[in-house]
Chains A and B, each alone.
Chain A
Amino acid sequence: MTDQQRSVAIHVPVLARVEGEGALDLRIEDGDIAELRLRIFEPPRFFEKFLEGRHYTEIPDMVARICGICPVAYQVTAAQALEKLFGVELDPWARDMRRVFYCGEWIQSHSLHIHLLAAPDFFGCNNAIELARIAPEEVRRGLRIQALGNELMDLFGARSVHPVGVRIGGFHGAPSLARIQAMREKLRAALPEAEALIRWAAAIPMPQDDQAFVSVATHHPTDYAIERGQIAVSDGLRIEADAFDAHFAEQHVPHSTALFSTYHQQPYLVGPLARLNLNHVRLPEQVRALLTESGLVLPSRNLFDSLLARAVEILLALHEALRLLDGYRVPDSPWVPVTPRAGVAIGCTEAPRGLLWHRYEMDGEGRVVNARIVPPTSQNQGRIEEDLRLSLLNFGLDHPDDALRLHCEKVIRNYDPCISCATHFLRFNLDRA
C-alpha cells in the first residue's frame, strides 16, 4: 500500500544467518528515492584474522569453512596464490582436476540458486515448495543437477560441504578410474537435462531492464575462465591479480561494517552475467549454439538475465568436466612437494558468485603474517545499491509496498549474494510521513 504523498520508508531488519547478514533501508519521498542503503556483513572478515599465524598446510581446510556453498572457490584461490609464491609447478593432472573440482561447485551452486532461490520469484511463488507445485519436473531436474554437482565435489574433496581434498601442491588423493568412469556416464547423461534447463530458463518472462554497468571477471586466452586467468574489465583493462589494488579499492562506508569495492571510483558487477558478457566467445561450440538459440544478446545490460547466465554456465561446466576427465589416468602422485618461502601470495579465481581475490603475506616458515580476502558479495554491494535505485525507478515507485518489496528481493537475488540464502528475507517495517 502506498499513500498519495509517496512518502514511504522501508526498513529491513538485520538478519542473523549462518551464511551472511544483511539489511536494506529504503525511503521514498515525494515520488523519489530519498535514501537507499544496503548493508551486508560477510563472514570472511573474521577469517582473515583467524588465518594469521597458521601454517600454509592448514589454509585450504580453513578457508573452505568460509562458505558452505562455495568452499572450492576459497580453497582453489588460496592454493593458486600460495603455489605461485612457492614456485610450485602443478602436475598437469592436478591442474586439470582443480578445474573439474571447481566445475562441480558451479553446477551445484548455480542449480541451487536457479531452482530454490531465484526461479520462484518469476512464477509468482513464495518459495521452491510452491514452485514444485506448478513445475515439478523442472524442480526435480534442478535437484538432480545440483546433486550431480555435489557428487563431483565429493569425488575430489571427500565430501561436498567443506571438502578436504585440496592441498598446496595438488590433491591429497586421486579418485580411481572406476569412479571417474561412473562419473563420466552421469555427466554425459546430464547434458540433455542442462540443455533443457537453458531452454526453460530462456522462456521465463523476465522484467525488462536496461542499465549501463561495468563488468569484471577473470579472462583466459583459451578457456572460459574459472580457476585461472587475468582480471578483465568491460572497458578493456586487462591486469594480473597482483595489480588489483592499483585499480580496485575497498572502503568503509558509514552505514555498513562491510567494505564496499569500487573500480576507478565506480561500482561494478562480478558473477555469471559479467563473465558471460566478457567471456562468451570462450564457450565451447555446443554451448554457444544453445546460447544463440536462447536469443540472449551479449553483452547484456539486464541483470535479470543472470538466471539464464547460470543455466548456461551449468552446461559449460558439464562439458568442461567431461572434456578434462576424458582419458583420465591415476597419477603417480596427486601432489608435488612444496617448499615454503617468505613473500606475498596473490591469487584470483571465479567463485560461482564472481571474482574472488586472496592475498597472503607469508613468513619464511610458511606461516601467515596477514591475509586479505575480497569476496564477490562485497564487490557487488555497490552495484546492487545502484541497481536497486535504477531498477526501482524503472519499475515505478507507485506500486504497492508488497510489489516494491518483492521487486527489491528479485533485484538482490539476481546477484546471488550470501543473504539471498534467506529467501524472502525482506521483512520490513513501514512508516508513512
Chain B
Amino acid sequence: MVVDALLSGGVQAGGETVIDKLDRPGATLVSLLEQADWAILIDAIQGNGQPGTIRRFDQRDWPAYRGGLSSHGFGVLDALMLARELGSLPSRLDLYGIEIGSASPGEEARSEILAASAQLAQRIAADLADPIR
C-alpha cells in the first residue's frame, strides 16, 4: 500500500532507485540488502498500538524481537539479523512498521491503515528528495 501510495504520489523507480513489493522474502532479503546503500523497509505489524500507527525501529529494538509473524520461522527481522552478522546491511536502513490490528484473508484494508500508508509514503518521498533529513 505504501508502494502504491509512493507511485501514485509521483515517486518513480529508475536510476539508482528500486521500488519493490516483496512477498515473504525470508532469507532472500539478505542478498537484496547486500546490493543497496540505503534501504527503506516497510512491513505490517501486530503490536499493542492502534491500527494505523506508524512505528520506526532501529537496531536497538531488534534484541527484543521474539518470533513474530513470519511463516517458516524466518521473517524480516531474522533476515536483518543474519544480514548484520554477515556484514551485508546497507549503510542506511530505515525500518518502518504499520500497525494493522487484526486481519482476515480477503478483508479490505481499514481506512486508518490506508491513511497511515499515504502518510508514510509522503514521509519517505520527502526523505528521498532530501536524504540528509
A1-34 vs B, Cβ < 8 Å mask (1 yes, 0 no): 0000000000000000111000000000000000
Residues B85 and A132 in contact, CB atoms below 8 Å apart: yes
Q: Which of B23, B31, B73, B85 contacts A161 (CB 8 A)?
A: B23
* Interface residues in B15-62 (C-beta closer than 8 Å to A): 23-24, 26-28, 30-31
A129: which B residues are within 8 A, CB to CB? 78, 81-82, 85
Q: Which of B27, B73, B86 contacts A422 (CB 8 A)?
A: B73
B71 contacts A by Cβ under 8 Å: yes
CA distance A128 to B23 in the complex (A): 21
B74 contacts A by Cβ under 8 Å: yes
Measured CB to CB, the nearest residue on chain A to B88 is: A140
Query: What is the total number of residues of chain B having a CB less than 8 Å from a CB of chain A?
Result: 17
CA distance A264 to B46 in the complex (A): 48
Q: How far is the CB of B35 from chain A (nearest CB, A)?
A: 11
Q: How far is the CB of B57 from chain A (nearest CB, A)?
A: 17
Q: How far is the CB of A166 from chain B (nearest CB, A)?
A: 18
A76-113 vs B, Cβ < 8 Å mask (1 yes, 0 no): 00000000000000000000000000000000000010
Q: Which of B30, B72, B86 contacts A421 (CB 8 A)?
A: B72
Q: Which of B27, B72, B78 contacts A143 (CB 8 A)?
A: B27
Residues B28 and A150 in contact, CB atoms below 8 Å apart: yes
Measured CB to CB, the nearest residue on chain A to B69 is: A18
B74: which A residues are within 8 A, CB to CB? 116, 128, 421
Residues A421 and B71 in contact, CB atoms below 8 Å apart: yes
Q: Which of A68, A136, A140, A144 contacts B72 (CB 8 A)?
A: A68
Q: How far is the CB of B3 from chain A (nearest CB, A)?
A: 16
Q: How far is the CB of A62 from chain B (nearest CB, A)?
A: 14
Residues A421 and B73 in contact, CB atoms below 8 Å apart: yes
Measured CB to CB, the nearest residue on chain B to A424 is: B73
Measured CB to CB, the nearest residue on chain A to B82 is: A129
Query: What is the total number of residues of chain A having a CB less than 8 Å from a CB of chain B?
Result: 26
Residues B82 and A139 in contact, CB atoms below 8 Å apart: yes
A143: which B residues are within 8 A, CB to CB? 27-28, 30-31
CA distance A362 to B112 in the complex (A): 45
Q: How far is the CB of B46 from chain A (nearest CB, A)?
A: 14
User: Provided the pairs A128-B82, A129-B78, A136-B86 are in contact, do residues A17 and B27 lie with their beta carbons within 8 angstroms?
Assistant: no
User: Provided the pairs A132-B82, A161-B23 are in contact, do residues A18 and B31 lie with their beta carbons within 8 angstroms?
Assistant: no
A144: which B residues are within 8 A, CB to CB? 31
Measured CB to CB, the nearest residue on chain A to B85 is: A132
A159 contacts B by Cβ under 8 Å: yes
Measured CB to CB, the nearest residue on chain A to B70 is: A18
CA distance A103 to B75 in the complex (A): 24
* Interface residues in A134-167 (C-beta closer than 8 Å to B): 136, 139-140, 143-144, 146-147, 150, 159, 161-162
Q: How far is the CB of B115 from chain A (nearest CB, A)?
A: 28
Q: How far is the CB of B29 from chain A (nearest CB, A)?
A: 10
CA distance A133 to B86 in the complex (A): 8
Sampled A-B contacts (5; CB under 8 Å):
A17-B71, A68-B72, A147-B28, A161-B24, A421-B73
Supply 15 further A-B pairs (C-beta < 8 A) apart from A127-B78, A143-B31, A421-B74.
A17-B71, A18-B71, A112-B72, A116-B27, A129-B78, A129-B85, A133-B85, A136-B86, A140-B86, A147-B28, A161-B23, A161-B24, A421-B71, A421-B72, A421-B73
Which residues of B are interface residues toward A (Cβ below 8 A)? 23-24, 26-28, 30-31, 71-74, 78, 81-82, 85-87
The 4 closest A-B pairs by CB, nearest first: A18-B71, A421-B72, A132-B85, A422-B73
